Amino acid sequence: MIPINKKIILGVTGSISAYKTAELIRLLRKEQFFVQVVMTKAAKEFISPLTLQALSGNPVLENIWDTKEGNGMEHINLSRTAQLILIAPASANFIAKLTHGIADDLLSNLCLARKCPLLIAPAMNIEMWENPATQRNIVTLKQDGVVFIGPEHGEQACGEIGFGRLVNLDTITLEALKFSTNQSFKGIKILISLGATVENIDPARAITNMSSGKMGVSLAKAAYILGADVTIVAGKTTEPIPDGIHTVHAQNHIEMFAAINKNIDNQDIYISAAAISDYLPFVNNKKIKKTETTISVTLKKSEDILKAVASKGNIFTVGFAAESEDLIENAKEKILSKNIDLIIANLIHESMNQSMAKVTMINKNFEILDLPKSEKKEVAFKIMEQIHKTYSKEVLNEHNS
């Protein structure tokens, strides 16, 4: 099981983006975080403390002088029990206060007295963000070890367009999980291909497969949370890909092969979770007219991308085998024919295009580990655990040989 520390202090400051905090709390609670909200006085002008209390399940704190409970040292007590302080949204004013060590309310005191990491998600007008004073403050805080996420570029509440929007909430949640999780893959570069490829028959039609990309996205999230430097090469997927993970989009086999080749250098691990077309159609330049009762489509075998990557010999390779029968035998054959290190095998009817999956992991020594049917997010972490064990063993063996 992946060790996760789940207590987080969520600081809310005076920004119009404070209304998004309600949804952020919901996402954090969904990930089993204990969320303690601390608001500034200005934040209360944008969103009600009662709303955030109802969503977090905990009283919202703001007054440093409130001594009804404890020893009157909440700015010390709270910062000692949390694994992370997250300021979202963080206003230009609050960033300036942090830079100069000003502690005139509960939230700024908590930040000054903390022993845990501080993650800041800024949100402000583009001119405020680009102001030299704000940029100097950010440079100083980064030098002090504070981590910034965002802001995004886009339309702002004032009607202007530019950097200053609060970063995507899913990205913030992913970053919070990363700070609260054992970083077993820190320093390891992982390339993950995922989703389905789409191959044109003519300018209007194409053939593809039933893959949703959910398992691949879950693996990418798990690898990122566990500290890996993740690059995604993504085909067609119904599952949203987090904005915070570097992603290259590739629609068909040719584009995916090119993207993988371009990004494979200096990677430590390649996980081929994509449902890549095994056969490619000869493309008609003009739309096929609906004149015949039946038509024939000629297909040619495509190049095996996973086998090509494995042949390089300097990268740990993980493949998937989606089968309708003879699961173990077919998976073992793929290990041998492609010369890969680990394969994740599953029966199509038990996982493809579903939210849950039941998989069997087989290494190149044909050692087998069955995982019970679970949510793909949970399965992804267990797969990453096994990848880490197998990869670490190989690295150790190479070092000792």
Residues 274 and 248: their CA atoms lie apart, in Å, by 13
Under 8 Å between Cβ of 352 and 274: no
Q: Which residue shows structure tokens 């879950």? A: 218
Task: Give the CA distances from residue 235 to residues 46, 133, 213, 220, in Å, rounded to whole numbers and listed in that order.
Answer: 40, 42, 8, 14
Inter-helix orientation angle 106-113/74-81, to 10°: 50
Residues 123 and 105: their CA atoms lie apart, in Å, by 20
Identify how many contiguous H helices and E strands the chain contains and give both numbers: 13, 21
Q: HSE (CB half, 13 Å, CA atoms) of 96?
A: 11
Inter-helix orientation angle 169-179/21-30, to 10°: 50
Residues 236 and 234: their CA atoms lie apart, in Å, by 7
- Locate 141 and state its tokens: 């805080």
From 54, 133, 139, 158, the catalytic residue: 158
What is the DSSP code (8-state) at residue 240? P
158 is catalytic: yes
Under 8 Å between Cβ of 233 and 251: no
Under 8 Å between Cβ of 15 and 124: yes
Residues 234 and 214: their CA atoms lie apart, in Å, by 11
**What Rg value do the Cα atoms of the chain yield, rounded?**
25
- Write out the catalytic residue numbers: 158
